[in-house]
Structure formats: C-alpha cells, structure tokens
Amino acid sequence: MNTAMVEAQGVRKSFGSTEILKGIDLRVERGSVTCLIGPSGSGKTTFLRCINHLEKVDAGRLYVDEQLVGYAERNGRLYEMKERQTARSRRTAGMVFQRFNLFPHMTVLENIVEAPVHVLGRPRSEVTAEAQTLLDRVGLGDRGHSYPQELSGGQQQRIAIARALAMKPRLMLFDEPTSALDPELVGEVLDVMKSLAEAGMTMVVVTHELGFARQVSDQVVFMDQGVVVESGAPADVLGNPQHERTQAFLSKVL
Amino acid sequence: MQQQHSLPATRQVTPAAPGESIPVVPLRHPLRLAIAVVLILVALSAAWDVAVNQRYHWDVVVSYLFAPQIMAGAGLTVLLTVVSMSVGIALGTVLAVMRLSANPIVSTISRGYIWFFRGTPLLVQLIFWFNIAALYPVIAFGLPLGGPSLVLGSANVLITPLGAALLGLSLNEAAYMAEIIRGGIGSVDKGQYDAARGLGMNSSQLMRRVILPQAMRVVLPPTGNQVISMLKGTALVSVLAISDLLYSAQIIYSNNYQTIPLLIVASLWYLLMTTILSFFQTKLERRYGRGFDAAPRRNFRSKTRSMTRSKTRTIR
C-alpha cells in the first residue's frame, strides 16, 4: 500500500525554542530523484538529517522504506528507539555531506571498507574487491591508497559517495554535495550523481545546482521557513513557479 | 597586449627567452654563520672543562654506573612509570568519556574526581595512601548499608609502600590524562560524528574506530610530557622509603659522600630513559599523524644546510 521510499506527514522539528520544520508533508517514490531547494535556513538540511535519524523528529510521522523513523509504534503509542536500533535503521540510507567528512586517518580504501567490515561484519577481502569496483565507478580506481587530504575536494566527494554506496543503501541522501567545491570541480561530482540516478537509485538531494535539478530530478521541492511552499515536476516548479516566494527565490538565483 | 604597448618604457629589462633558466644567487646569511661558530666554540669549551675537571670524579661515576643497587633502582623507576602511566591512561580515558557524557551525574562525578586529584599535592596523596590504614584498618568489599561483605584483610598488610606509591601515582595521573584526552576528543571535527553515525556505527564503534584514533594525534605530545614527568616524578616516592633510582643513589652517597658523581649516575640513567621514551613518542606521533601531515619531514641534514645558505622550498 505504502510504496514510497520516504513519506513525511506533518514532520516538525525544533532546536530549543526555534521551530525549524513546521509540518513537512512529502513523498519520495522508489527509484526517483527529489531535489530540495530553497534559501538557507529554510530547513532543507534539517529535514534531510531527520530522514537519516541524525536529528530526532519532534512531531508528525516520517517513514523511510515503510519504517517509522526513530520510534516504534505499538498499541497506539510511540516508543523511542534504542541507540542500536537507530544505528541499524540508518543503514537503509547512505549520506553524503557538504564537507565530505571522510575519515582523515584512513586511506581511501580503508574509508570505504570500514563500515561494511566493522558494522555489517562482512569479510574484508570480499568488501575490498567491491570497494575497488566502486572506486572505478567514481573514476578513482588508482587512488585507493591515498589519504583523503591528498585529494582534491571533488575527488574527496566522489570517495564519500563510494563510501556511502559500499553499505548498499536503498536510498541516498546528499546534503549540498557541491557547495564546498571549487567551481571547476562541481561537474565531476554531479556526473557521478547523474550516473547513480540513471542506475535507478532513489535520491534526495539538497542543492543549489538548479541545472542539475532541472536535468536529473523527477520532483523539485521548494522549501522556505520550515514549510514546503511548492513541489512538483522540475519543469513546473522551476519553469513556471506558482507561488510568489518561489518566484522571488528563483529570480535571485537564476 | 595593447595595454603593454601604451605603458611608457621606464627601464630596460632584457627579457629571458622562453624556456631559458635565469641564474639565481642565493641570499647569504653571514650573521647566522658567525653565531653558529661562536656557539660551537662555547659548547666545546664547556664540554672540555667538564671532561678534564677532576672534581667531577668520572672514575666514581663509571664505577657506580652499573652498580646493582642503581640497576635495581632504575628497574623500580621503570616499573612505577609503566604501571602508573598504563593505569593513568586507561582510567583517564574512562574519565574523559564520562566527562563528555550526556548523563549529568556521570559527568559531575568525573569532574569531581579531576577537581580533587589535580587540586591536591601528589606528595600529600602518596602519604595519604601510605597511611590509609589509619582511616580504614580493614579492607573489604561489601554491600552498602551494612550488607554482607567479603573481607580482604588488614590495610596495613595489603597496602605496601609499593602499593601506596602505585595507587597515588596512578590515580593522580588519571586526572591529568582525563583532561588531555578530553581535549583530544574535542579537537575532532563534529562532521566525523555525523559521517560515522550515518554509516550505522553505534557509540562504541564511533569512539574506537573514528574519534579516538584522530584524538591520538592531539593527545600524544602532552602524553609524552606526562610520561617523562612521571618518570622523574617517581622520585617523590622516596618519602615512602621505596628505593627507586634517585633514592638508591642517595643511599649510596650518604655513605661515601660522593654526592655529585652519584647524582650524575642517576641523571645519566634518567637521560637514557627519557631518550628512549622520546624515540617511541616520535614513532607513535608519526603513526597517528598519517593522513594529517602531508608535508615531508625535514631531516637534520637539510636543516644544517638551510642554516648556511637559503634553499628554495616547496610549500604545500
């Protein structure tokens, strides 16, 4: 019945007395690409972090792969999840961060095999072979023994994508993956993301790259001040925005 | 191009043909060289004086260097240092993690421990543990409020001078190590927590695999200092009549009045031990610096060369 990969119903989140998310309703279909756009402080990143349990949802329901995020529902009550359950359910989604967040004390290969070996308990030799395939896929097959610091930002972000993919997630979350990159390095990361989308990965992308949103996404969601202002096909939201806040934002960005 | 033509030709510069290298005259540092020569002369004359001055009694130094009493003392100093540092680091790590805990009771207990053990003199703590029998004549593990207990024995028998020394040094060291390790943990980028959690790690995996190895880089240099000051600080246990290295030397010179030569003997051993420790510290720092320090290490030879003439260095 509920076949969406992500389903948000009235999701709310506050930090202290500031309400960041004021009731988000959103549906991400399996195999689709959704881009979250909007001005900074609109709650895009917070919502993305909620999907991966990095932030706790205060109110509303958020389902990822038909599982309620952060809580277990029994007899009409919500029970907060234990830490180990949360850690387990995080494996559904892979996350890529604005600042890459690679582990600097490990080589590229060690970064990629770390979680499959130590979290999933899979044999290292098998995972290493897979990691090499992933590295080839992001075009960095020869950099397995480098340390992250020795690589450019674009290369680091491609490694971060490979690291997330090594956990075989059913959903990929991207938090402004190109915002910390030099302009000439943005393209190589977007190319990897495009090929991932073509391979049928479900993706939620917080981005300022409207070209990418128009070209690759199935759904564009415009958020402002903690609410979804407008959502729909990229041609509609970006090409023919109905809401004046969307129009104002796009006129500033384009 | 047009801009260049419109500029007035104020000076005549012979342009180098493309691909042709221009000879560079390195900058000379005559003052640097002069200071180095003076310092070498001062150091040599001081060394010469120490070598020929009869009052140092180098023959006595040599005869006591490997004396059984000195060797036993050095062994005890090493034992005290190794055990106290190991317990101190282990307990300090626990205290550091406790201090950062979200549970306010746990973090307050850690804070209180650090406050107490850093705030009282080590000498007092050592004498306190030595005299613990005055407060608790019998040591027993028991349930609170008068439940059944397992009696271990008299405190006077259980807490030997060596035991009191180890307790005092370890518990004191743990307080300092806790603060060093807490600083190291705090130095790790917050994004590392997100990345590790995002990959499905639980708190213990996050700490062991991601945070602590990175904290090591910041923790190691001050820990090296702690080990070396512990090595020399163990001399304090002579108040508990434990014959560590310094106390052994003192016993000997109180009999033969060769104070200076025996202090030299002890110092040579302390120097040897700190040199070995520094060597391992450097190795460990290099091990945990991997991935952080991309700049190539400068060795001694390149340092001496740069003293006499300037050298182009590539900056990464």
Return the pLDDT at B240.
Answer: 86
User: Residue A247: pLDDT above 80?
Assistant: yes
Q: Is the model's pLDDT at B303 over the cut of 60?
A: no
Of A93, A101, A105, the CB nearest to B194: A101
pLDDT at B307 over 80: no
CB of B192 within 8 A of CB of B214?
yes
CA-wise closest residue to B218 among B253, B187, B194: B187
The mean predicted confidence, pLDDT, of chain B is 85
Mean pLDDT of B12-39: 81
> CB–CB of A166/A127 below 8 Å?
yes
Work out the percent of chain B whose per-residue pLDDT is above 70.
84
Confidence of residue B19 (pLDDT cuts 50, 70, 90): low
Rg of chain A over all Cα atoms, to the nearest angstrom: 18
Distance (Å) from the alpha carbon of B210 to chain A's nearest alpha carbon: 7
Is the CB of B52 inside 8 Å of chain A's CB atoms? no
pLDDT single digits (tens) A98-141? 999 999 999 999 999 999 999 999 999 999 999 999 999 999 99
Segment of B6-20, B255-269, B294-308 carrying the highest mean pLDDT: B255-269
Residue B5 in this model has a pLDDT that exceeds 80: no
Nearest to B182 by CA among B92, B108, B104: B92
Quick one: pLDDT band at residue B3, thresholds 50, 70, 90? very low
d(CA A179, CA A161): 15
Interface of B with A in 197-236 (CB under 8 A): 197-203, 205, 209-210, 213-214, 217
Chain B closest-CA separation from residue A48 CA (Å) = 12
Alpha-carbon dihedral of residues A223, A189, A97, A27, nearest 10 degrees?
40
pLDDT, mean of residues A25-36: 95
**Residues in B touching A167 (Cβ below 8 Å):** 199-200
Mean pLDDT of the region B301-306: 46
**B49 in contact with A, Cβ within 8 Å:** no
A252 Cβ under 8 Å from any chain B Cβ? no
Residues B47-98: tens digit of each pLDDT: 999 989 888 899 999 999 999 999 999 999 999 999 999 999 999 999 999 9
pLDDT of res. B146? 66
Q: Nearest by CB to A114, which of B191, B203, B209?
A: B209
The answer to whether residue B197 scores a pLDDT higher than 60 is: yes
CA angle A86, A92, A95 (to 5 degrees): 90
Q: What percent of chain B has pLDDT over 90?
A: 61
Predicted TM-score (pTM) of this structure:
0.79
Q: Given a cut of 90, is residue B222 above it in pLDDT?
A: yes
Token pair of B249 as six digits: 């030397």
ipTM of the complex: 0.92
Using CB atoms, pick whichever of A83, A105, A120 lies closest to residue B202: A83
- Predicted pLDDT of residue B38: 97
Going by pLDDT thresholds of 50, 70 and 90, the confidence category of residue B10 is low
Q: Which pLDDT tens digit goes with each residue over A132-186? A: 999 999 999 999 999 999 999 999 999 999 999 999 999 999 999 999 999 999 9
Q: Give B302's pLDDT tier (boundaries 50, 70, 90).
A: very low
pLDDT at A225 over 50: yes
Task: Output the CA torsion sign for B173, B176, B182, B184.
Answer: negative
Q: Which two tokens stand for residue A77?
A: 């009550």
Helices (H), ranges, chain A? 44-51, 83-89, 108-118, 124-137, 153-165, 183-198, 210-216, 234-239, 244-253
Chain B residues whose beta carbon lies within 8 Å of the beta carbon of residue A147: 290-291, 294
Does any CB of chain B come closer than 8 Å to the CB of residue A44? Answer: no
